[in-house]
Structure 1
Amino acid sequence: MTFNWNDYLQLAQCVYRYGKSHDELKEAAFRCAISRSYYASHCFLRNYAISKGAKISEDGAAHQEVIDFFAKSKDPKRSKIGQHLIHLIQWRTNSDYREHYTITEFNAQICLSKSNEIVKLIQ
């Protein structure tokens, strides 16, 4: 049985809700929600791209390869998915590595919204 990456998105939503109700861990929860929403989208889309014949590396290069598969597509839906993924990876990088950035509820909400839209667009 393979892992369902949509479960990661559900976890991201749970962590987001937790952050909304726990001031002491609010920013940490929002950072985590952004990071998990990116990885849910990335892995879901990686598997989709592979199923469509794309050759995706099994290392860090996979992030750009998945983005390119979608963002460089002539199909408007795929291109939009690629743009969402570009925004998500930027926010994930800010959330995971840039402690001087303040991550807010709004930032997390936008990322979760983009991840949810990706799932809808791909189905």
Structure 2
Amino acid sequence: MRRFTKYLIGAVMLAVLTLVGSAGMASAASVAPVSGIGNPSCAGGLKIEPVQSGQYGPVTIVVSGQSFGFSTSGDVVTSVIVKGGPGYNLYSYPAPGVTSDSGLTAPTNAKTGQPYGLSHLCFFTEKKGEDPK
């Protein structure tokens, strides 16, 4: 019984340390991306290329290394395509969309374990309160 108690206490402490350690990591997007290979269409979206911090229509982006964040005024973002390397990450936001997010990246390069560089972005937006069709 004593051995089991020590094991249980050790497991709980490991779980707590894991949670505390992950709290200091860089922020992640509020939705998990879906990764794909190729270059999806940006038809009907706002394409940003080259990817640099700035104001692009209703979207403001701030690039930090290999990730970025965005905010909008007057519009909501329903999805973002982040192209990098041979693939892309698609971030899809549930209705009614979002006005900001951070920590978005291109897919991870398996050789380096780091995200690919940001090739281009594609934002899909709607006016706030607009009924999606």
Structure scoring higher RCO (CA < 8 A, sep ≥ 6) equals: 1
Between Structure 1 and Structure 2, whose CA radius of gyration is higher? 2
- Whether these two folds match at TM > 0.5 is no
Bin of the TM-score, shorter chain as denominator length: under 0.3
TM-score by length of structure 2 reads 0.25
